[in-house]
């Protein structure tokens, strides 16, 4: 009897040990499965983040962006330019002539700002013999334009464009000093790498399109010079077909401050 009791206690003890072992092994399996799931979830999550980063990088690298720029406004035609730009959902940059920001055209410039376009400084009077006498005379002319836009529109442009570009014969000898002076105020200059040649002679809409077409294809980030002036009716006619052609060729549109590199003659353009 005693022997059977002993055996049965031993058997129960053995059963308990087996059960304990089974529970331990089972718990271990569960834990390792859960751990593997956790590790795998972290790896997947990291991979997904890398993929997202990769996609962002790829899409920004492959993007083609056109920068439409209009010099010499505001003008009696500006509202018509704005209408087309709004209908096409495109933003542009306008380099303004200070003395024209007057009367009804003040509201037109406000509309440019309100509709998301960028405003840059160009000149106050655009008369070469007045503005380009010296470094001081052009800086004064720009300051006057800056003040005009600050007081009438309440904006502080970050870009300026030399009339006839930064390498014109008038300004060449003191251009760098003008650039330094303006940079102290946080204002950089911009040229262009594509021109519609729309302020020369009496161009047709077709010739403006041809001029732009022959050069924009060379760039993923063309800066296109056009003019917003009362004498540039053909530019207005060319604008919508130009925007549509650029869109068909994969270009989107941004304002100039969003461009990675400033567009300067003689440097990376």
Task: Note the residues at the interface with Zn ion (CB under 5 A).
Answer: 71-72, 163
Nearest-approach distance from CB 97 to Zn ion, in angstroms: 7
Choosing from 122, 126, 227, 264, the catalytic residue is 227
Nearest-approach distance from CB 123 to Zn ion, in angstroms: 7
- Whichever of 65 and 112 has its CB closer to Zn ion, that residue is 112
Given the structure tokens 């058997």, which residue do they identify?
11
- Whichever of 74 and 163 has its CB closer to Zn ion, that residue is 163
Q: Which residues of 145-166 are buried (b: 16+ CB within 10 A; e: fewer)?
A: bbebbeeebeeebbbbbbbebb
CB–CB of 174/135 below 8 Å?
yes
Task: Tell me the two tokens of residue 189.
Answer: 């200059």
Closest CA to 259 of 190, 186, 213: 190
Nearest-approach distance from CB 181 to Zn ion, in angstroms: 20
Alpha-carbon distance 145 to 132, whole Å?
15
First-to-last CA distance in the chain? 104
- Whichever of 72 and 198 has its CB closer to Zn ion, that residue is 72
CB–CB of 72/227 below 8 Å?
yes
CB–CB of 256/189 below 8 Å?
no
Strands (DSSP E) found in 74-128: 93-97, 118-123
Q: Is 71 a catalytic residue?
A: yes
- Whichever of 65 and 225 has its CB closer to Zn ion, that residue is 225
Choosing from 71, 72, 141, 221, the catalytic residue is 71
CA distances from 133 to 76, 142, 187 (A): 30, 13, 21
Closest CA to 59 of 258, 252, 255: 252
Nearest-approach distance from CB 163 to Zn ion, in angstroms: 4
Under DSSP, the state recorded for 246 is: H
Nearest-approach distance from CB 161 to Zn ion, in angstroms: 8
- Whichever of 65 and 68 has its CB closer to Zn ion, that residue is 68
Q: Is 220 a catalytic residue?
A: no
Residues tagged active-site: 71, 227
């Amino acid at each position: 009897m005693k022997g059977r009791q002993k055996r049965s206690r031993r058997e129960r003890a053995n059963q308990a040990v087996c059960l304990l072992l089974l529970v331990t092994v089972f718990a271990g399996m569960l834990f390792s499965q859960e751990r593997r799931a956790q590790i795998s979830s972290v790896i997947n999550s990291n991979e997904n983040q890398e993929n997202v980063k990769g996609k962002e990088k790829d899409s920004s690298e492959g993007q083609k962006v056109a920068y439409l720029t209009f010099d010499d406004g505001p003008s009696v035609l500006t509202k018509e330019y704005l209408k087309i730009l709004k209908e096409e959902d495109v933003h542009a940059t306008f380099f303004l002539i200070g003395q024209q920001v007057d009367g009804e055209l003040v509201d037109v410039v406000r509309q440019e700002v309100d509709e998301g376009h960028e405003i840059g400084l160009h000149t106050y009077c655009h008369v070469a013999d007045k503005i380009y006498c010296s470094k001081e005379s052009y800086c004064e002319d720009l300051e006057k334009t800056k003040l005009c836009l600050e007081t009438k529109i309440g904006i502080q442009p970050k870009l300026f464009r030399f009339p006839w570009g930064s390498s014109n014969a008038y300004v060449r000898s003191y251009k760098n000093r003008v650039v330094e002076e303006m940079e102290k105020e946080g204002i950089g200059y911009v040229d262009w790498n594509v021109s519609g040649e729309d302020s020369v002679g009496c161009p047709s809409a077709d010739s403006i399109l041809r001029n732009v077409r022959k050069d924009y294809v060379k760039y993923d980030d063309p800066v296109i010079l056009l003019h917003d002036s009362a004498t540039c009716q053909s530019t207005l006619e060319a604008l919508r077909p130009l925007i549509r052609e650029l869109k068909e060729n994969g270009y989107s549109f941004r304002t100039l401050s969003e461009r990675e590199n400033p567009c300067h003659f003689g440097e990376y353009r």
